[in-house]
């Protein structure tokens, strides 16, 4: 299964591959060059297909848990000052996505969208300390009765050139469902209330819609 945001890109990839095959078969007599171009075209198509894959995941909805919003590696767990929405200290958990990860963003918890805003910006590498404040990004706040308000931020990286965000203020969203996509990017930050019991450790592999980031018992 592939994500709907990849439809145009996948179609272009198929057309490109078909064109390379047709041209190389009819216009190139040097066998090694012909086969090399065909292999290259197939590799490009495979990369596109794996990037836009969207594996079906049935999240177990639990208001006492916050699930990973994306696939990747946990790279930050620390207390920070969040200056855009809360303007106070929060517990930040960040997940970095490599180009081979699934890039679907999923709602970490069910609740009401209280805030949603897009910010144009730079394309620093995702692990840069200023990426959260200076890169292209979206900020979304979801609120429920268990955790209160939780902010997540989609952040573009050096390769990312488009962030897709489906959250709109006033929406009722469901944990584990599709919240957006980061094309060829890169990182998602969660900002949780101080004292939230964290269920992951640094460098742990996270699976979007499956891995429990935090849990209230």
Tens of pLDDT, residue by residue over 2-17, are 768 768 888 988 998 8
Question: In terms of residue numbers, what domain contains 26?
Answer: 4-51
Residues 13 and 86 in one domain: no
Cβ density class 161-179: b for 16+ within 10 Å, e for less? eebbbbbeeebebebbebb
Position 125 scores a pLDDT of: 57
Q: Say which CATH number the domain at 143 has.
A: 2.70.70.10
Range scoring the smallest mean pLDDT among 23-37, 163-177, 182-196: 23-37
Catalytic residue among 24, 94, 132, 186: 186
Task: Assign 120 to helix, strand or coil.
Answer: coil
Give the pLDDT of residue 123. 57
Give 148-183 pLDDT, tens digit per residue.
999 999 988 655 557 889 999 999 999 999 999 887
Mean pLDDT of the chain: 86
> Are 161 and 210 part of one and the same domain?
yes
What is d(CA 106, CA 37) in angstroms, rounded to the nearest whole number? Answer: 37
| Predicted pLDDT of residue 203 | 95
Together in a domain, 138 and 79: yes
Question: Are residues 137 and 113 located together in one domain of the fold?
Answer: yes
Number of structural domains, the chain?
2
Q: Report the distance separating Cα 5 and Cα 80, nearest Å.
A: 33
Q: Are residues 39 and 69 in the same domain?
A: no
HSE-CB of 167 using CA atoms within 13 angstroms = 34
**Where is pLDDT greater, at 209 or 156?**
209
The answer to whether position 80 is within a domain reads yes
Provide the pLDDT for residue 142: 97
- Quote the CA–CA distance of 165 and 149 in Å, as a whole number: 18
Active site residue 186: yes
153 and 72 fall within a common domain: yes
Instruction: Provide the whole-model pTM.
Output: 0.82
- Residue 195 resides in a domain: yes
| 8/73 same-domain check | no
Q: What is the pLDDT of residue 173?
A: 96
Q: Domain check: are 96 and 38 in the same one?
A: no
Q: What pLDDT, on a 0 to 100 scale, did the predictor assign at position 133?
A: 64
- For residues 42-60, one letter each, b for 16 or more C-beta atoms within 10 angstroms of the residue's C-beta and e for the rest, the string is eeebeebeebbebeebebe
Residues 96-145: tens digit of each pLDDT: 988 788 888 999 999 999 999 998 866 555 555 555 666 788 999 999 99
DSSP code of 14? H
Strands 162-165 and 178-183: antiparallel
């Amino acid at each position: 299964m592939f994500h709907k945001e990849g439809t145009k890109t996948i179609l272009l990839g198929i057309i490109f591959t078909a064109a390379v095959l047709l041209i190389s078969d009819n216009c190139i007599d040097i066998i090694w060059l012909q086969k090399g171009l065909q292999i290259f075209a197939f590799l490009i198509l495979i990369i596109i297909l794996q990037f836009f894959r969207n594996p079906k995941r049935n999240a177990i909805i639990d208001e006492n848990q916050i699930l990973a919003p994306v696939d990747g590696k946990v790279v930050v767990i620390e207390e920070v000052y969040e200056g855009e929405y809360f303007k106070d200290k929060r517990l930040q958990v960040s997940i970095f996505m490599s180009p081979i990860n699934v890039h679907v963003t999923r709602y970490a918890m069910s609740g009401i969208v209280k805030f949603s805003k897009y910010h144009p910006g730079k394309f620093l590498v995702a692990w840069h300390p200023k990426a959260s404040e200076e890169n292209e990004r979206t900020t979304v706040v979801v609120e429920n009765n268990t955790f209160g308000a939780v902010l997540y931020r989609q952040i573009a990286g050096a390769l990312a050139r488009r962030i897709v965000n489906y959250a709109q203020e006033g929406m009722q969203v469901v944990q584990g469902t599709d919240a957006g996509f980061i094309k060829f990017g890169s990182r998602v930050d969660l900002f949780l209330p101080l004292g939230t019991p964290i269920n992951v450790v640094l460098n742990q592999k996270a699976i979007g819609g499956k891995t429990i980031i935090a849990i209230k018992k």
